[in-house]
Amino acid sequence: MALSSDQHLDINQVPVETVISQQAAWLLQQQVGIYLVAGDLFNHFDRSLAFMQQLQAAVPTTQVRFIAGNHDMVNGVTFDELEQPLDPTYLHNQFFDVPGTDWRIIGNNGWYDYSFADGLDKDVAAFEQWKRAYWLDSAIQQPMTDPERTDLVLEQVTAQLKRAQVDQKRVFFMTHFVPQSTYLRITDDNRFWNMANAMMGSQRLGNLLTQFKVDRVLFGHMHLRTQPRLIDGTTYYNQAVGYGTKRRHEWQSDSFLTEWQRQLRIVELDSANLKS
């Protein structure tokens, strides 16, 4: 199984057809059975979905799945549509069982509830005002507040995890937003990033994953260069490709393909354990 996230194909200005061809060739050559992408392919959901559909068609022996990140949600999709099973490649609030194993892969886009910025002693209105002024997500339409949207996420994930328990499945969980506060950058002054932490994710989701003893979690959103971390018995992966632009050059190379391969992580699922 191969893991990736935050490829930002439009921002990185890479030729889509070339990327599909290159990724398909690599996945086939490596005989990857499952390819998971934890969101942020384009700033337009229709383009993200089309990309994954075309990639799936090019690698029929690989199960290709993705969820939507906040960038994917900005254009081309409504809140109600995001909550629907729009396509077999779209795994939000869906799952699939890995044949020949007791593993279940569960996906949920996730969201945030400002819990990562509790120490700032701000109320909901203050975070909402800051978001409207500075954050990309202000363009995303939703019929509820951010904490209420996180409540919905937690309800969905709880139901999926309970079902996995009943079915005696081990869980590999994929989400876009950050589920653990240990990944945050917190300073002792009033910097921009401290407010941005409010939009990173939810510690409540991390607590839920710990409660249900989820084995492995893939997430994105933060463009990290980090090894897998074991937190409260759960192994967390962030395999973000990130930005390779002149203004924000996060790559360790000058080639999208090289950076995608560098950031990709391969894990092996079997019926007895997970090797990585």
Per the CB < 8 A criterion, the answer to whether 36 and 4 are in contact is: yes
Instruction: Tell me the C-alpha to C-alpha distance, in Å, between residue 257 and each of 5, 89, 105, 244.
Output: 14, 22, 26, 11
CA 71-74-76 angle, 5° bins:
115
Residues forming beta bridges with residue 103, ordered by sequence position: 170
- pLDDT 10s digits, 184-208: 987 776 667 789 999 999 999 999 9
CA 142-183-175 angle, 5° bins:
40
* Cβ count near 252 (within 10 Å): 12
| CATH 3.60.21.10, applies to 2-275 | yes
CA pair distance 48, 24, nearest whole angstrom: 16
Q: With 70 as the cut, is the pLDDT of residue 273 above it?
A: no
Domain boundaries, given as residue ranges, for the chain: 2-275
> 258 phi and psi, to 5 degrees?
-60, -40
- pLDDT 10s digits, 76-90: 999 999 999 999 999
- pLDDT 10s digits, 40-79: 999 999 999 999 999 999 999 999 999 999 999 999 999 9
